[in-house]
Structure 1
Amino acid sequence: MTPAEEWSLRLGRQLVELGVEPAEAERLAQDSHDEAWNSGRAPMELYGPASVYAASLAQAVRTAQPELAAGPAGEVVLRLSQVSKRYGRQLVFDGVDLTLRAGEVAAVVGANGCGKSTLLKICCGMTAASGGLVERTPRIGYAPQHGGVSDLLTPDEHFRLFGAVHRMSRRTAVSTGTHLCKQLGWRPKRGQAAAQLSGGTQQKLNVVLSELNRPDLILLDEPYQGFDQATYLDFWEQVFKWRDAGAGVLVVTHLLQDLDRVDHLLELHRPEDS
């Protein structure tokens, strides 16, 4: 067995351990192996350690959550019913309710440490709620506040990787990603790895990846960190374009000047502030 094959085998095993279905884990491992082969580089060189890369892949794969049936505009795409989160004895938040429909934008606000990012991770299935019920549409996109991209991959490689998760062809994934980049005023340079991008540009890549598969629900955790003023305005215009196109959008934000245009405002409080 070659080192590349050993790396792919470890990747598949790690994905299964992280909760990915075995058949899906095998497909993702094979796709990663093929991508490295086509690039002429070893998987370890291209992606890094299999265990680290598996964590990034598993994050991109939708984890099991109660799902709402996909439907036309106006259908519920996310419902939170008395959702709570606790770490040991520490209560992060409690009794959170929200109903978000297709074609609506909801903003989550609150002081630092009140659990805004944790709530979004619960919405996308990365973290389990301690109580309550989370229901969501099967087709979601998620842009985290930090991380979310691989330093060693170029934007095109990210598009192909995420496209593979969504069963998109490589050509469609790259063309779609490139088009979405232009809407945020960014044209990726061929061959430039994510590590060479500024923090704001990496966040643009995160936003593009969240919309790559045209999801019914888009979850955004303050993704505009590092944006200049023009890009920040472009970002909010894009949010409302998603709404007009029929997607439900949930945005975590600490900036209040744009909230007069959103459909729902969810304010989280620390338990001691309630």
Structure 2
Amino acid sequence: MSPALTATGIGKRFGRRVVLSGADLAVSPGEVVALVGENGAGKTTLLRICAGLLRPDRGLVSTRGRVGYCPQEPALLERLSARDHLVLFGGAVGLERGPALTEGARALDALGFAFAGQGRIAVRHLSGGGRQKLNLVLSLLGDPDVILLDEPYQGFDHGAYADFWQWVGAWRDRGKSVLIATHLLAELWRADRVIEVPPCPVG
């Protein structure tokens, strides 16, 4: 089966600093790929390029189907509630208010967020784990075909962490293409393949 995500010869620099030099990856439907590398190797930059949020200096990215992206740092609006975020982000992927709230609340509850009690609280008052759960669920609205995750479990309690990996297995079973940037080497057995992003020389 042809890949749903392909990145070929990706190069990126910020000023004089080379972040990526000829990075390649491919993820097929029904496949979980772990992206590993040293801090500063360019994992986050490569994910942002694959998500279409950053333009590479060279190389090509091809995706098939809709892409969902969960950044490492939650991209949340501090004064808005979880409900507000579900409606706002759901609308961006074509969901009406009702379906966005239903879909998002179900996913948040499954991660132990307790949407009925916390859904109307401003994000700035949520715990770090609560913010990260919302961050993950927002990336899943609209049932994307390609799921890009940048260490999405930061701040999760043990139960939510275990649930997350169950979700990963379910996504694989449903034919999703999943790319996870991770530093948890003990969890690499959960992936079908591991791709290492090597550090780039300075200059």
* 1:122 corresponds to: 49
* 2:192 corresponds to: 263
* 2:128 corresponds to: 199
* 1:167 corresponds to: 94
Distance of 1:182 and 1:241 partners within structure 2: 17
Distance of 1:138 and 1:131 partners within structure 2: 23
The percentage of counterpart residues that share the same residue type is 44
* 1:226 corresponds to: 155
Question: What secondary structure sits across from 1:148 in the alignment?
Answer: coil
User: What are the superposed Cα offsets for residues 229-251 of structure 1, whole Å, 9 maximum, x if unpaired?
Assistant: 22212111111211111111111
* 1:142 corresponds to: 69
Question: Are residue 242 (structure 1) and residue 178 (structure 2) matched?
Answer: no
* 1:87 corresponds to: 14
Question: What secondary structure sits across from 1:271 in the alignment?
Answer: coil
Q: Which has the higher contact order (CA 8 A, sep 6+)?
A: 2
Question: What secondary structure sits across from 1:257 in the alignment?
Answer: helix
Letter in 2 for 1:232: Y
Q: Structure 1 unaligned runs (5+)?
A: 1-73
Distance of aligned partners of 1:169 and 1:154 in 2 relative to their CA distance in 1, 3 Å threshold: same
Distance of 2:185 and 2:109 partners within structure 1: 26
Distance of 1:148 and 1:223 partners within structure 2: 12
Distance of aligned partners of 1:93 and 1:190 in 2 relative to their CA distance in 1, 3 Å threshold: closer
* Two-structure CA RMSD over aligned residues (Å): 1.5
Question: More deviation in 210-219 or 230-239?
Answer: 230-239
Question: What secondary structure sits across from 2:160 in the alignment?
Answer: helix
Shift of 1:75: 4.3
Question: What secondary structure sits across from 1:76 in the alignment?
Answer: coil
* 1:177 corresponds to: 104
Distance of aligned partners of 1:136 and 1:226 in 2 relative to their CA distance in 1, 3 Å threshold: same
The two structures have a TM-score, normalised by structure 1, of 0.70
Q: Which has the higher helix share?
A: 1
Question: More deviation in 184-193 or 259-268?
Answer: 184-193
8 A contact 2:33–2:180 mirrored in 1: yes
Alignment of 1:56-67 (within 5 A): none
Distance of 2:156 and 2:64 partners within structure 1: 29
Distance of 1:155 and 1:131 partners within structure 2: 38
* 1:37 corresponds to: none
Distance of 2:2 and 2:105 partners within structure 1: 30
Q: Which has the higher strand share?
A: 2
Distance of 1:147 and 1:173 partners within structure 2: 19
Runs of 4+ in 1 over 4 A off after TM superposition: none
Alignment of 1:5-16 (within 5 A): none
Which of the pair has more CA radius of gyration?
1
8 A contact 2:104–2:138 mirrored in 1: yes
Question: Are residue 102 (structure 1) and residue 4 (structure 2) matched?
Answer: no
